Amino acid sequence: MTKGYLVLETGETFVGEWLGADIETEGEVIFNTSMTGYQEMLTDPSYRGQILTFTYPTIGSYGINEHDDQSNDIAVSAVIMNDVCDEPSHYQSTTTISEQLKKSNIPGLANIDTRSLVDMIKKYKTVKGTITKQEGYSNSKWKSTDSIELVSEVSVKVPEVYGNGDHHVVILDFGYKKSLLQALLKENCKVTIVPYNTSFEHIKSLLPDGILISNGPGNPEELHGVLSTIKELTQNYPTLGISLGHQLIALAYGAKTEKLSFGHRGNYPVKHMGSGKVYITSQNHGYAVMGNSIDSNEFQVLFRNVNDKSVEGMKHIHLPVQSVQFHPEAHPGPSDTEYIFADFVQQMISSGGKKYVEA
């Protein structure tokens, strides 16, 4: 195998074996601690522009199948792993992870000391890196990430319609996961997915019963152009925000977000503040809503992260609006909080098309 290098902007270099496409790439280097679900992670649009490090020691053991993709192609810029398995064992496997990376024109490195790399990421909080075949490579011009560009790349370009259920949900798409769509279809919904910059008037013309603001990549504060639309949607329809959608709803109501030291990517415990019950959730985000910036006259904090007490969900006091930082529909699980979709459907039924804030 060909030798390859991960060069961090802080000067450290990690040496491994080259995988996938024969191209150089750079991006924010992040890590996910999940033990399963590498195919779902690879195809999660929220990873757009990032170099994903797997902390689980062996990746690829059950191959790649035709059912678990969360988008139409691999979304990450590159992957880093310790051991790659190119002889998978699973009845649904159709190809290996190495073959899929090459087919999707995505590079990667194997045989990397991922423990040391994760320690380095934790040390520097946020760090960019370049994957290259050049020994002694140095980069003096690190690119800045454009969140609008990232979202534009993963959002649908024209509306898409799925299902014919009793409840019409419009997904405002910042990079939705297919598991979101599947969760809504399972709840007897008709789903229309529209581009992230679709106007309120156009969405209104679709006659939705409810709105879902999806997950997606990038810094939420750079997406200020959509906040007025999101606020207007929440004032007129039952609304559920997921991950980035949660952050955008908070911003639309005057709250602030902050970048976490190294993000939440993996399975994390969250506490429901009303009942005290703790749920295990699947997460993938680098930003969080600042709890002290939330207007308590409008929103109550619904969930908090058990580990760092960050805000994991909130609910509007008067409007049928709820948002969560985690993924209730996680594939692979856990599915502890899947009930949130049933609650959302119940809100649509209860609202009966009522307009909540007069124009």
CATH number of the domain enclosing 32: 3.50.30.20
- Asked if residue 57 belongs to a domain, the reply is yes
The backbone torsions φ and ψ at residue 212, rounded to the nearest 5 degrees and listed phi first, read: -120, 125
pLDDT recorded at residue 226? 98
How sure is the predictor about 19, in pLDDT bands with cuts at 50, 70 and 90?
very high
The verdict on residue 144 lying in a domain is: no
Question: Which pTM does this prediction carry?
Answer: 0.95
Q: How far apart are CA 287 and CA 244, in angstroms?
A: 8
Same-domain check for residues 289 and 182 = yes
Query: 176 and 96 in one domain?
Result: no
- Cα separation of 75 and 93, whole Å? 20
Instruction: Report the half-sphere exposure of 144 (CA within 13 A, side-chain side).
Output: 4
294-319: pLDDT as tens digits: 999 999 999 999 999 999 999 999 99
Domain assignment of residue 343, yes or no: yes
Q: How many domains does the chain have?
A: 2
Could you read off the pLDDT of 216-230 as tens digits, one per residue?
999 999 999 999 999
Residues 128 and 213 in one domain: no
In a domain, 203, yes or no: yes
Residue where a domain stops, chosen among 101, 135, 169: 135
Among 103, 135, 167, identify where a domain stops. Answer: 135
d(CA 75, CA 30): 14
Q: Around Cβ 219, how many Cβ atoms within 10 Å?
A: 17
Q: Are residues 53 and 195 in the same domain?
A: no
Q: What is the mean pLDDT of residues 140-160?
A: 93
CATH number of the domain enclosing 238: 3.40.50.880
* Residue 145, in any domain of the structure: no
**Residue 273 domain-assigned (yes or no):** yes
Containing domain of residue 117, as a range?
3-135
pLDDT at residue 358 in the model: 46
**Inside any domain, residue 70:** yes
Both 108 and 7 in one domain: the answer is yes
Which structure tokens are listed for 249? 């709803």
Say if residue 212 is in the same domain as residue 339. yes
Residues in the chain: 359
- With respect to residue 220, please indicate whether it lies within any of the assigned structural domains: yes
Identify whether residues 239 and 294 lie together within a single domain: yes
